[in-house]
Chains A and B, each alone.
Chain A
Amino acid sequence: MAKLEVKEYPTEPLKCWEQAKNLRKNYYEDYLRAHEKGGLRWAGGAWAFSAIPAGLGEDVYCITGEPYGATVAFFKDFAAKCHDATEAAGFPRTLCAYMRNYWGSILLDKYILTDGAVVDGYPAPDFIWQDHICCSHGKWYQLVRWLEKQKGKEVPMYCVDVSVGYPTDSDIEEYKINYLVGQLNDGIEWLEKATGRKYNDHLLCEAVWNEIKATSLWAEICALNQAVPAPLDEKTMYSLYVMGTLMKHKPECVSFYQTLRDEVEDRVKRGIAAVPNERYRVITDTQPPWGFLKIFREMEKYGAVSVGSLYTFGLIGMWEYKPDGTWSPRSIPPSKPQTREEALRAVVEWTIHKPEWAHFYLPELKTKMMTDIVKQWKVDAVLLHYNRGCEGLSLHIAENRFGLIQTGVPVFPFEGNMGDERDFDFAGTLARLTAFFESMGLKKLKE
């Protein structure tokens, strides 16, 4: 193979990596051991209004379903057992892969920790606090209730209907806000009845403010990746954004993202690269095939680095279009909410602008955001994961491909599944990716 001279940037590991690992480890263990501390456990999606149950006390621990499903997927042997269990129970393999992993864990009555250790006895939640962001999320916890009931446990559930669409201009219709705030007000009454605890509005205000700060901070961190060389690669970012999907309302999350933001800023100033031989920048879309993250290492052999995605930036990060047309971290409100009503309105107004809502309602807006990311993050090509495991985030993805191609952006689509390795052909995908990189004029730099 011809030796190619490619500029090598300095690189170094993230200093806060261990902190990230410990935060995530503690999160799963806290949920498992909540009852030993006299605390409560709740379950719901990563986009659930997690700041609301925080008003029940500081000893209330949650487990969010999608990150748990992804954790299961990462450990392929355990994931295979979960798939077998859900299919044996009569559920088709075409359903949401995270949901099947989650149900499988309950059916097996086993709980997996972040190091892959499997604990006997799935820790049932004391209540479910969910929102209906897609068709799968609408049924997910209904089935969890049913599965727990088979084991003799009655789990109360509250769901928020969030089907108000994505705001297309700066003026959000008031009725949309009122519709959501009303449900959250009702939800607080429901939480008091379901748990027998008195609700604390001060804790609510703190949690809402934490969520706003944490999700804005994550966007700031992602914006720093516009630098060349990129200080972070997307494979690493997956391990960092996850904090926002687990505990966006907690002070630990804010504190961690502040530390991370400062460190990434420092990397940019010093020109520290995530991938030392960076010479080609891509973005992806939707969740990756979690059992095959090594595909990112294969890309690096060509000097290609994934600098993020709308998914990685916007699943938790909050963004907005600034007057100059740039897509930038959303400015946080001028002051912290002081009352329940202020807190609920603040969290609703903030959440409704989540860029990932556009997946469901406005494919053309999603294409625009992706196109703007391509420009601002100096991206050469887009790798689109036609993710058979997530109907929600794959919705309209072929339209997005078409829209990107029309603007002249090279696109490489590949089929796979975020949570079920049976739907991902690693060798075939790698062969096609090789062809794509070669067609872009890249040669392999190392084996």
Chain B
Amino acid sequence: MITAGVDVGAKFAKVVILKDGQVLVRAKAPVGFDVLKSASDVFEAALKDAGLSRADVQRVVATGMGRNAIVHKPPINAEESVSEVVADAAGAHHAIPTVRTVIDVGAEEGRGIKVEGGKVKDFVINERCAAGAGTFVEAMARALEVKVEDMGPLSLKSTNTIPMNAQCCVFAESEVVSLIHSKVSKEDVAKAIHDAIAGRISSMVLRIGVEKDVVLIGGVALNPGFLPPLEKELHTTIIVPKFPEFVSALGAAVIAASPTR
């Protein structure tokens, strides 16, 4: 059976195509103003890579904040949509079957999910502010005048702990500017930023309880500067699966393969 999961996120659309439980192809591209077109383009690209047509794919399940844009709408014509929480649980379980806690940090949201057998037992999502999400790193990278992909490696060069108190993405930017004016090194500021995100995410995840194995997914999982402070805050080791940013799309594809779940 061939199925697909399409995760229409805040920054990127991701597609995973599965054949009998094995990943055939992954594809991703930025989401523009026209959400349907962005998702459709990356979906078509994924089909092309796999040498398939839409007719070859028995079921497509959409997830992500823009998921409703592609349900029953050509050319994707997703049959169903599921929330990111449900897709994350299914995807993380497929990638790491021993998972009990999923932490998903994407561009706009951070989520903690308690999982049992791929099903959600409890979950928590950050409220309102993006200070615990990937957008925060991007904004701070701008303030530090470094590339976003350099933020993680930069932070790993620091051994100092500089507290960042701001609980708001916008105010935190002001705090970063103050630190720069105080001649704090970019490395130390970068570490302070990652420590702050880890603090926010961990305090949220602790509300549902942390059980091993803990799996970190989402685009921010690709940032090497985020994992060490998060492990330190949660006092546990954390597994980052391969292609962590595709786990939600993978979960949608897994769900598509079991419509009677």
Contacts and interface: CB of A to CB of B under 8 A. Distances in A.
Same complex: yes
Interface of A: 1-2, 405, 410-411, 415, 425, 428, 431-432, 434-436, 438-439
Nearest to B89: A439
Nearest to A410: B122
18 contacts: A2-B79, A405-B122, A415-B127, A428-B128, A431-B65, A434-B83, A435-B84, A435-B86, A435-B120, A436-B85, A436-B123, A438-B82, A438-B85, A438-B86, A438-B120, A439-B83, A439-B89, A439-B120
Interface in B43-89: 65, 71-72, 79-80, 82-86, 89
A191 B85 CA distance: 59
A164 B122 CA distance: 38
B122 A428 contact: no
A410 B89 CA distance: 17
B125 interface: yes
A395 to B, nearest CB: 18
Interface string B123-134: 101011000000
A1 B127 CA distance: 29
B127 A439 contact: no
A439 B128 contact: no
Interface string B97-127: 0000000000000000000000111110101
A1 B85 contact: no
B123 A435 contact: yes
Contact of B127 (A410, A425, A435, A436): A425
A317 B184 CA distance: 61
B125 A439 contact: no
Nearest to A439: B120
Given A1-B80, A432-B125, A439 B259 contact: no
A439 B80 contact: no
B259 A2 contact: yes
Contacts of B119: 439
A346 to B, nearest CB: 45
Contacts of B123: 435-436, 439
Given A405-B122, A415-B127, A438 B83 contact: yes
Given A2-B259, A405-B122, A435 B128 contact: no
B66 to A, nearest CB: 12
Main secondary structure of the interface of A (DSSP, over half): helix
A1 B61 CA distance: 11
Contacts of B128: 425, 428
A168 B80 CA distance: 51
A425 B71 CA distance: 24
A191 B83 CA distance: 59
Contacts of B82: 438
Contact of B86 (A425, A432, A439): A439
Which of A410, A411, A425, A434 is packed against the most chain B CB atoms within 10 Å? A434
A434 B62 CA distance: 14
A93 to B, nearest CB: 15
A425 B129 CA distance: 11
Give the 8 A-B residue pairs with the shortest CB-CB distance, closest first: A439-B120, A435-B83, A435-B85, A438-B86, A438-B83, A415-B127, A434-B83, A432-B125
B15 to A, nearest CB: 21
A439 B118 CA distance: 11
Given A2-B79, A428-B128, A436-B85, 19 more contacts: A1-B71, A2-B259, A411-B122, A415-B127, A425-B127, A428-B127, A432-B125, A434-B83, A435-B84, A435-B123, A436-B123, A438-B82, A438-B86, A438-B120, A439-B83, A439-B86, A439-B89, A439-B120, A439-B121
Nearest to A1: B80
B99 to A, nearest CB: 15
A316 B107 CA distance: 46
Nearest to A405: B122
Nearest to A414: B127
Interface in B218-261: 259
Contacts of B85: 435-436, 438-439
Contacts of A439: 83, 85-86, 89, 119-121, 123
A2 B80 contact: yes
A428 B130 CA distance: 13
Interface in B1-23: none
A438 B72 CA distance: 19
A435 B122 CA distance: 10
A271 to B, nearest CB: 30
Nearest to A411: B122
Contacts of B72: 1
Nearest to B119: A439
A219 to B, nearest CB: 32
Nearest to A413: B124
Which of B84, B119, B120, B128 is packed against the most chain A CB atoms within 10 Å? B120
B113 to A, nearest CB: 9
B56 to A, nearest CB: 21
A381 to B, nearest CB: 11
B121 to A, nearest CB: 8
A364 B256 CA distance: 43
A415 B85 CA distance: 18
A415 B127 CA distance: 8
A439 B121 CA distance: 7
Contacts of B120: 435, 438-439
Which of A2, A411, A432 is packed against the most chain B CB atoms within 10 Å? A432
A408 B28 CA distance: 39
Nearest to B261: A441
Nearest to A432: B125
Contacts of B71: 1
Contacts of A434: 83
A285 B122 CA distance: 19
Contacts of A410: 122
Contacts of B259: 2
A1 B82 CA distance: 11
Contacts of B80: 1-2
Contacts of A431: 65, 83
A431 B67 CA distance: 11
A434 B71 CA distance: 16
B200 to A, nearest CB: 15
A440 to B, nearest CB: 8
A293 to B, nearest CB: 21
Contacts of B127: 415, 425, 428
Nearest to A401: B207
A178 B65 CA distance: 59
